[in-house]
Structure 1
Amino acid sequence: MKKIFKLFQEKNSNVVGIEYSSELQKNYFQFVESQYKKGLRQVIVTSKLMLKIIEEYFLNQNYRIIDINLGEEDFEMKDEIDNILKMIEKDRGKFFYLLKRLEFISNNSSIDIEYINLSSNSPKNGKYITFTIKVNGIVIIEDDLEEIEIKKILELVEKVI
């Protein structure tokens, strides 16, 4: 089952994930404004934060990197990233090459990471976990363990920002 959350930061700097139902998705700006009125500020997931999430989940949680999409339509760069992801599937040691390349892109161009898609390599409680994080703070988790996973993501985001 797929659940969608929007990341916000409270005044005390805690990061929270507010469930973002299909009904709320019909009016994004109204949803964000209603959270502002509650004292929350939306979290924008910068490329630096995306890289930390990729690093944490790839190295420490043994996740696979399914997809990385850049915010600009540069087909040559997208092909390069996709090819590196294919290399990583065969040799996880190639991950550091990907990390260096993404850091270079992030630091030396105006191209941001638009979203990342990750998946667990092994089942947790009998299920594989797949999630996507977008630059606008939207997190899509595809599994029944979303409460556990969103807490991990929130803790990581809170630690980095």
Structure 2
Amino acid sequence: MKKQIQVLILYLVLCGCETTIQSKVVDQETDRASLLKTIDHWTQGWENKDVNLAIQDYANDIDWTNAFGDRVTNKEELKQLLEVIFGFDFVMLGQTEYVENDIEFLDQNYVTVRSKSIRKGQKNGDGSLMADRIVNHLRVYRRDKETWKIVNHMISQVHEKR
């Protein structure tokens, strides 16, 4: 009986203790603004042929694939590839306008952003004008301390259905 009373007292003491688990409150509106800013950096980097600006929000272990099937698996490879691409004047002509950004918080540390953009005014290698292109982006972000880093970016181009 004495053990039962001790167990009961221990139980009541434990139940009466206030335990608080502090979890970080996620401010999704601030995060949304930060995520959209990374897309601005990418776009401005392309417009200004500034590779460092274009890739500043990428993690070192990025997995990146463009609409033409080029794939790199780290930030240094991405930098080297973009330096080549930015050297093609016919590719760099035109402007990109983002018309849609769908942000989904998977949890406190991972987010996906699906974007739709329209590329206007770009030329082919022979100098002829390309038709406007719809380009989709799927970016996966991972929280890195207080910032978001892109860990995966896949780009695809919509082709007309016949």
Give your verdict on TM over 0.5. no
Greater relative contact order, per chain length (Cα 8 Å cut-off, separation 6+): 1
Greater strand percent: which structure? 2
When normalised by structure 2's length, the TM-score is 0.28
TM-score under structure 1 length normalisation: 0.28
Kindly indicate which of the two structures has a greater share of residues assigned to helix.
1
